[in-house]
Structure 1
Amino acid sequence: MELPTRHFFRGDDGYEQARARTVWNARTPERYPDLVAQAADVDDVVAAVRYAAAHDLQIGIRSGGHSWAGNHIRDGGVLLDVHGLDRCEVDAEAGTAVVGPGVGGSVLAGRLWEQDLFFPAGHCKGVCIGGYLLQGGYGWNSRVLGPACESVLGLDVVTADGEQIYIDGENHADLYWAARGSGPGFFAVVTAFHLKLHRRPRVCGSSLYVYPIELAEQIYPWARSISAEVDRRVEFQMVASRAVPGAGLDSPGIVMASPVFADTEQEAIDALALLETCPVRDRALVAVPYAPTDLETWYAGVMSNYPDGYRYATDNIWTSASADELMPGITRILETMPPHPAHFLWLNWGPSPQRQDMAYSMEDEVYLALYGVWRDAADDEKYGDWARSNMAAMEPLQTGIQLADENLGRRPAPFATPEAMARLDRVRAEYDPQGRFHSWMGRA
């Protein structure tokens, strides 16, 4: 049984480099597959899957390697790297695209921007669309356009027996349903996504406020009180950290940087006006109620919180809890937060409209996520459990989690409704009866 031209068995020269390069997080997991196979095309994918089937090996799949936990790296089996599948064909007239899993979301977004088109790509540079779309896809303007998986019209996949098929609502509908929201537990290899594109918003802008962290007791309850009122064209998010270098603040602060997407500048200004009602508005260290911006500026701002070469540990919850219920946990988060660039994200997300019928089925009014970020491996014990322990303490308040920032290997939590999980198990049993593809960490 042939393998892709580029492959490395454990013990081969180049194996460790091939294994480690599949993870963006400098905290490379201490898990070791038997084989790393690097696919350059669909034939390579078919060869790797058939080899795994012939040798009864399980498969983990990597597209961009931005899984914080390195979900694709498991002990034993095959690590199939599809980063090389970077096809990107845009049909501007039809408003569609066919894109390989190894294409960066920011690369796709930039190319579309130049053609007056838009897709809700992820907020971080370097994240490839493979894992991003499978887990749901919270991206630019997703409060209006929906999670990006709702804009997936179909997929080209290789199944557990090495068969190439196209799936959509009419072809292998159950597998198409599963592909939109099952994330790292999806039981096929995606070789291309067929995407619905959108018109680029006429006006893209943002507001920016920076507050000293001592005002948290006033700011977070206010943010909770307006969660249902925030215009869906606004991404109201707050990031708390021990320093805000971009704003010249070397002490703990809370940054409200809220993108807005609208048809006119006045609509954008009006949509952001609610943020001027913060009860401590007069104590803001920086206050920009509205300014025009663009994708490159947004990406630069976001990536200041996610530097290359650092070690990461994350966790998250969806919640509809009240401010009174949330504040004890938030206070503990702020008191125990590691140094910058570690940070705490608050996002006002819902209430959301009715979603399409798909495996993605878990969301709530507010999203809280913790990102432990540090440089020195000697600090792993000191900072490595900050995210998990704080989210575990708030677990009674969680509805569930989202897969983008999952920590399932260390804190199993629901990411889909019980009904969706039961259906996922049924569809997996049909399309992957031998368990060829790894399930989610933390779940058999």
Structure 2
Amino acid sequence: MISLPTAKAFPRGADGYESARRATVWNGLVPERFPDIIVQAHETDDVVAAIRYARAYGYQVGIRSGGHSWTASHLRDGGLLLDVSRLDQCAVEPDRMTADVGPGKVASEFATELDAQGLFFPAGHCEGICLGGYLLQGGYGWNSPVLGPACESVLGLEVVTADGELIHCDPENHPDLYWAARGSGPGFFGVVTSFKLRVHPRPAVWGTCLYMYPIEVADEVFAWGRSLIPEIDDRVELQIHTGRSFPGAGLDQPGITIASPVFADSEEEAAKALAPLGTCPVIDKAIVSLPYAPATLANWYTAVMTSYPRGHRYIADNMFTSASAEALLPGIRKIIETMPPHPSHFIFTGWRTDPARADMVYGVEDEVYMALYTIWQDPADDDRYRDWAASNMAAMSHLATGSSLADENLCRRPSRFIAESNMARLDRVRSAYDPENRFHSWLGGV
């Protein structure tokens, strides 16, 4: 008989099941989806045992590392849910500029630990996200315009396959599975128990600008921002945040915040790289105008998390586009007009595309990335706010070239997130490594 000797297992209906189920979801909006059994892995052998158990008894498998999927795509009705958040090992080798980390390692903690050693990794912009899901879906993080999505820094992986075998994947060993792991996200057909990552030298200087505009000049700000994207320095992340209030500033009025990180070798270079963000034609209307200030990793995480409070209910949606400002502005106006109260918000950012990524399973990308985050607390408001993100993205879908798995909403609004040729290749690799569809794929399909 195949059993689960060391892992904690919670069959549906058992004591601890519901708390274990809810604990797998960071979002306060926990879907009414119930696996038959939840397994908490504490080591790699637990993962192997769980997959062999699932195979023996015919369970499909969902995998959770950090639980920050907005749709909780790991949580399905029936089958086995494997929680690998406790596989959080981390060993850094500065001489080799590599690190071996588990899928449950918190990315923001990893970034902080590297920072103290003069090292750097393009970890995600929010605290609490674990590396497993972040790396599998691509991972656009700090300084990614220069370093690329974090999945490009994945050198190799330890993976438990659908057969319950532990294998090593890299460009020479199981190269197709290695390719599939760098961008397929919740559609990946294996359980990663460890990543080997390339780490990078820490940028000498971190800085930021800060501009705050009243909502009345939104047309001018977004038209200018769209025109700026092709010209902005790679070391600058253009981030335009719009909400019903200014996060962290105590200003209770609708407005637009431009707070863009920069990474450079000197403060002079940082200030020069940020200078174009001070050229908005309505800068005289700015409530706050700060061309440059030094920043730290801790500063940035604190600032970002004012927009993502714990204990709230979240629905996100997104799109990539190359459309002009003229084409985008009607949709942006509608987003602003219909936006729910703070902390719901709209992010408009420039994206650094790279033709070299065209053959990666890692998604689709374009010049502009737009993401909507509906955030509320009271379950009584579910019906009121549930459709804001999807309906606004659907209304602009004729301008979209695709969407990102980072902020996917596929169960509510299907959209293209992997190039067709890459999807076809991914299906071939899946049929080789998971012919019985042991692992759940994307929630809601393509």
TM-score for the superposition, normalised by structure 2: 0.98
Answer yes or no: is the 8 Å Cα contact 1:247–1:286 preserved in 2. Answer: no
Task: Select 1:177's aligned residue among 176, 179, 193.
Answer: 179
Task: Select 1:240's aligned residue among 239, 242, 255.
Answer: 242
Q: Structure 1 segments of 4 or more deviating over 4 A?
A: none
Query: Counterparts of 1:153 and 1:357 in 2: how far apart (Å)?
Result: 17
Aligned to 1:163: 165
Query: Counterparts of 1:213 and 1:251 in 2: how far apart (Å)?
Result: 8
Query: Counterparts of 1:193 and 1:202 in 2: how far apart (Å)?
Result: 26
Q: Tell me the SS of whatever aligns to 2:229.
A: coil
Q: Which amino acid aligns with 2:7?
A: T
Map 1:401-412; keep pairs closer than 5 Å: 401-412=403-414
Task: Select 2:24's aligned residue among 22, 25, 46.
Answer: 22
Map 1:6-405; keep pairs closer than 5 Å: 6-352=8-354, 354-355=356-357, 357-405=359-407
Query: Counterparts of 1:309 and 1:353 in 2: how far apart (Å)?
Result: 40
Q: Which runs of 5+ in 1 are unaligned?
A: none
Q: Which amino acid aligns with 2:288?
A: V
Q: Tell me the SS of whatever aligns to 1:270.
A: helix
- CA offsets, 1:104-147, max 9 Å, x none? 00010000001100000000000000000000001000000000
Answer yes or no: is the 8 Å Cα contact 1:272–1:289 preserved in 2. Answer: yes
- Deviating more after overlay: 352-361 vs 289-298: 352-361
- CA offsets, 1:283-338, max 9 Å, x none? 11011100111000000000000000000001000000111110111000000000
Query: Counterparts of 1:249 and 1:353 in 2: how far apart (Å)?
Result: 42
Q: CA deviation at 1:226?
A: 1.1
Query: Counterparts of 2:169 and 2:358 in 1: how far apart (Å)?
Result: 16
Answer yes or no: is the 8 Å Cα contact 2:363–2:405 preserved in 1. Answer: no
Answer yes or no: is the 8 Å Cα contact 2:161–2:189 preserved in 1. Answer: yes
Answer yes or no: is the 8 Å Cα contact 1:150–1:356 preserved in 2. Answer: no
Query: Counterparts of 2:326 and 2:254 in 1: how far apart (Å)?
Result: 23
Q: CA deviation at 1:5?
A: 3.0
Q: CA deviation at 1:177?
A: 0.2
Query: Counterparts of 1:353 and 1:416 in 2: how far apart (Å)?
Result: 14
Q: Tell me the SS of whatever aligns to 1:232.
A: coil
Query: Counterparts of 1:2 and 1:232 in 2: how far apart (Å)?
Result: 52
- Deviating more after overlay: 370-379 vs 343-352: 343-352
Q: Which amino acid aligns with 1:121?
A: A
Q: Which amino acid aligns with 1:271?
A: A
Query: Counterparts of 1:296 and 1:346 in 2: how far apart (Å)?
Result: 23
Q: CA deviation at 1:361?
A: 3.9
- CA offsets, 1:164-191, max 9 Å, x none? 0000000000000000000001000000
Query: Counterparts of 2:253 and 2:228 in 1: how far apart (Å)?
Result: 27
Q: Tell me the SS of whatever aligns to 1:157.
A: strand
- CA offsets, 1:39-74, max 9 Å, x none? 000000001100100011100000000000000000
Q: Tell me the SS of whatever aligns to 2:381.
A: helix
Query: Counterparts of 2:402 and 2:358 in 1: how far apart (Å)?
Result: 19
- CA offsets, 1:333-363, max 9 Å, x none? 0000000000000011134352274211410
Query: Counterparts of 2:399 and 2:355 in 1: how far apart (Å)?
Result: 22
Q: CA RMSD in A?
A: 0.9
Q: Which amino acid aligns with 2:297?
A: L
Q: Tell me the SS of whatever aligns to 1:254.
A: strand
Query: Counterparts of 1:220 and 1:352 in 2: how far apart (Å)?
Result: 24
Q: Does residue 1:2 correspond to 2:3, yes or no?
A: yes
Q: How many residues align?
A: 444
Q: Which amino acid aligns with 2:166?
A: Q
Q: CA deviation at 1:384?
A: 1.1
Query: Counterparts of 2:109 and 2:248 in 1: how far apart (Å)?
Result: 24
